[in-house]
């Protein structure tokens, strides 16, 4: 549809970001309404409950309320014997949302818009007759329009045929009300009927949607990936409304574990990808919306600040030095040399003497660089940058500093990176970081202004002499940019897409998570052939069968049964177990070496000699300081 007279989302909202509400179903469920009830019918039998939930979302900052009509069409209401109450249920839903909006506006001067919500019909494919679907939607749409909605939201569409039917029904009833149309995608990244996000974006625009996007799905990251792909093929406003993560069953209830802070981080990322309509789906409570509101306000303030700058000329872009000139590790990577690294975890206190002695020993043995994690598993330890600085200054061996997005906002990220550059630290591994709930202080909050992809872009810009606002920092930081990869994840398609995004953002080499099944590494390397950068394989010398079982069961590392059996067969003494773990690691290194350009060996429980033993066939001892 190309009618230029179609209504515009901008006519209602302007060009600023708009914050939507969260999950009505989640809030009803939390109030004891179980899923065998018809949630839409509660507009008639429990009107105060529905209105109260609307008011909670408004007081949290929502500027757009969706009516409680996700399944209020004849097809879905028929399951409850309510197919004759379509008009009554939808009219009551609009009245409850409007009454809540009016009450909050009178008390708090907070204006909100009312969107008539249309969900999927849920018909099996053989029954998806276009006329039947349009008729079902048209009845619902007519009731919503007559009751006075400001716009329509077509959401959680798993079938493009149903999405088209919903849009066609709206346009038959009303040509002057805007439509936000959103699909939901599977773990594979496509709509359930196989339609890609790019094709879905094109079709929704062609059929007459005024804004398009993605909602529901398995959490924020999948929605971010989807809207990023949609943005490439459309100029329409983008909507993003994810689930609050993947639900877990706790005491018989479905609980969504993504924190409000994580959804606030999602909101910032979504808006940076071009989304202007932000909200939440299943599991998203008023607490999530309140946190997201802070992000929306921050982005609005940034936009206003940029507008006040006027026509200030852009800072000059600096071309960074070639990779081989930025650090010794960069030179080794650039020239194709096989690199060796050992991971040294910072101490839990402030005395790094054991770690420094380990670095001294590894340097003498010929290890090229020391990898230093940034509070791994969200544990409280000495800062990675402090230990890196001491290793480089006191021991004289290069380090690779792990830099996470968990603990710093964008200001702190840039400040710390500028400080690292001024101190001569050049090799940075960009990581999203483990969430605080994994660590020993689960009540701590995570920041996550950006993820690993965004962090890589920040570093790339700094290498070109620019901060995130495009302002000059005076010179190139000269960083060597590394990214992480995990060949053993269950969803390899998603990992490959993320890896491609990291490479596009500027990553220059990659370090994998510990790999115990080299077939997984081989498969991953084949999948990234079109955008491969040098890959350093992670190797972990197991210390016991208990260690192997912990990694398999607690850390979800893919651990072949063969390795478990070998470790169990050598469980007589700790020395025998460690020796077998080293043998397994040496065998893996020998097999992996032809496939990769380096190896990073971990040192479990600070056993640096064990890591060196794994590498002994590759090391050339340093004979002079």
Rounded to an integer, what distance in angstroms lies between the CA atom of residue 98 and that of residue 106? 12
Distances (CA, A) of 508 to 15, 427, 430, 504, 537: 37, 11, 11, 10, 15
Across the strands, what pairs with 512?
485
DSSP 183-213: E---TTSS-TTS--HHHHHHHHHHHT-SEEE
Check the annotation: does 405 bind a ligand: no
Q: Report the run of H or E that residue 180 belongs to, with start and end.
A: strand 179-183
- Measuring CA to CA, which residue among 208, 274, 265 is closest to residue 238? 274
Q: What is the 3-state secondary structure (H, E, C) of 322-358?
A: CHHHCCHHHHHHHCCCCEEEEECCCCCCCCCHHHHHH
Token pair for 610: 């064990």
35 φ/ψ angles, rounded to the nearest 5 degrees:
-75, -5
User: Could you tell me whether strands 598-601 and 339-343 are parallel, antiparallel, or unpaired per DSSP bridges?
Assistant: parallel
- Measuring CA to CA, which residue among 557, 577, 554 is closest to residue 567? 577
Across the strands, what pairs with 215?
241
403 φ/ψ angles, rounded to the nearest 5 degrees:
-125, 115
The answer to whether the CB of 578 falls within 8 A of the CB of 546 is no
Token pair for 556: 């979800």
Q: Where are the beta strands (DSSP E) in 208-335?
A: 211-216, 238-242, 247-250, 253-256, 275-278
Place of tokens 């010929």: 366
- Other CB atoms within a 10 A radius of the CB of residue 6 amount to 15
Token pair for 417: 């990176």
Rounded to an integer, what distance in angstroms lies between the CA atom of residue 420 and that of residue 425? 5
Check the annotation: does 216 bind a ligand: yes
Token pair for 228: 């990023």
Check the annotation: does 483 bind a ligand: no
- Measuring CA to CA, which residue among 38, 56, 156 is closest to residue 96? 56
Angle between helices 574-592 and 561-569 (to 10 degrees): 150
Rounded to an integer, what distance in angstroms lies between the CA atom of residue 298 and that of residue 614? 49
Rounded to an integer, what distance in angstroms lies between the CA atom of residue 528 and that of residue 202? 28
- Measuring CA to CA, which residue among 578, 576, 575, 569 is closest to residue 547? 578
The answer to whether the CB of 345 falls within 8 A of the CB of 373 is yes
User: Could you tell me whether strands 253-256 and 247-250 are parallel, antiparallel, or unpaired per DSSP bridges?
Assistant: antiparallel
Indicate the burial class of 422 (C-beta count within 10 angstroms; 0-12, 13-18, 19 or more). exposed
**Annotation: binding site:** 216, 281-282
**Annotation: binding site for Zn(2+):** 216, 281-282
């Amino acid at each position: 549809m190309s009618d230029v007279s179609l209504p515009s989302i901008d006519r209602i909202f302007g060009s600023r970001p708009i914050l939507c509400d969260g999950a009505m179903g989640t809030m009803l469920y939390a109030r004891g309404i179980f899923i065998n009830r018809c949630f839409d019918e509660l507009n008639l039998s429990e009107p105060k409950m529905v209105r109260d939930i609307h008011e909670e979302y408004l007081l949290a900052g929502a500027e757009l309320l969706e009516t409680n009509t996700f399944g209020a069409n004849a097809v879905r209401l028929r399951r409850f014997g309510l197919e004759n109450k379509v008009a009554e249920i939808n009219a009551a839903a609009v009245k409850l949302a409007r009454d809540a909006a009016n009450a909050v506006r009178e008390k708090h001067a907070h204006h909100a818009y009312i969107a008539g919500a249309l969900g999927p019909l849920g018909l099996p494919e053989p029954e998806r007759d276009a006329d039947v679907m349009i008729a079902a939607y048209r009845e619902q749409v007519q009731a919503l329009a007559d009751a006075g909605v400001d716009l329509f939201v077509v959401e959680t569409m798993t079938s493009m045929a149903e999405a088209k039917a919903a849009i066609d029904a709206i346009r038959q009833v009303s040509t002057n009300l805007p439509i936000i149309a959103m699909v939901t995608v599977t773990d594979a990244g496509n709509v359930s009927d196989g339609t890609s996000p790019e094709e879905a974006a094109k079709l929704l625009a062609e059929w007459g949607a005024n804004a398009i996007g993605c909602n529901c799905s398995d959490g924020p990251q999948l929605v971010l990936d989807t809207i990023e792909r949609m943005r490439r093929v459309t100029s329409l406003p983008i909507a993003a409304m994810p689930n609050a993560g993947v639900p877990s069953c706790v005491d018989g209830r479905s609980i969504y574990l993504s924190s409000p802070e994580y959804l606030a981080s999602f909101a910032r990322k979504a808006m940076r990808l071009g989304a202007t309509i932000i909200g939440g789906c299943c599991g998203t409570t008023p607490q999530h919306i309140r946190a997201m509101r802070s992000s929306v306000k921050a982005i609005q303030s940034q936009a206003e600040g940029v507008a006040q700058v006027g026509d200030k000329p852009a800072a000059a872009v600096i071309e960074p030095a070639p990779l081989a000139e930025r650090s010794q590790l960069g030179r080794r990577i650039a020239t194709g040399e096989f690199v060796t690294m050992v991971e040294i975890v910072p101490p839990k206190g402030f005395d790094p003497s054991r770690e420094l002695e380990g670095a001294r020993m590894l340097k003498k043995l010929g290890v090229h660089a020391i990898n230093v994690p940034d509070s791994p598993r969200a544990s409280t330890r000495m800062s990675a940058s402090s230990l890196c600085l001491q290793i480089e200054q006191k021991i004289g061996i290069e380090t690779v500093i792990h830099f996470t997005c968990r603990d710093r906002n964008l200001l702190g990220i840039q400040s710390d990176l500028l400080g690292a550059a001024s101190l001569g630290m050049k090799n940075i591994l960009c990581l999203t970081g483990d969430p605080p709930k994994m660590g020993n202080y689960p009540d701590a909050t995570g920041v996550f202004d950006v993820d690993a992809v965004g962090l890589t872009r920040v570093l790339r810009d700094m290498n070109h002499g620019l901060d995130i606002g495009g302002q000059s920092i005076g010179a190139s930081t000269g960083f060597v940019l590394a990214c992480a990869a995990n060949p053993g994840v269950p969803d390899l398609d998603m990992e490959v897409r993320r890896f491609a995004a990291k490479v596009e953002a500027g990553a220059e080499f990659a370090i994998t998570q510990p790999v115990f099944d080299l077939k997984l590494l081989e498969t991953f390397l084949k999948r990234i052939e079109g955008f491969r950068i040098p890959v350093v394989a992670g190797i972990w010398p197991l210390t016991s069968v208990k260690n192997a079982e912990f990694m398999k069961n607690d850390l979800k590392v893919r651990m072949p049964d063969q390795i478990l059996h070998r470790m169990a067969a050598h469980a007589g003494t700790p020395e025998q177990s460690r020796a077998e773990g080293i043998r397994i690691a040496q065998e893996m290194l020998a097999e992996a070496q032809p496939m990769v350009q380096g190896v990073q060996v971990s040192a479990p429980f600070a056993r640096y000699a064990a890591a060196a033993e794994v590498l002994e066939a590759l090391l050339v001892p340093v004979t002079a300081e």
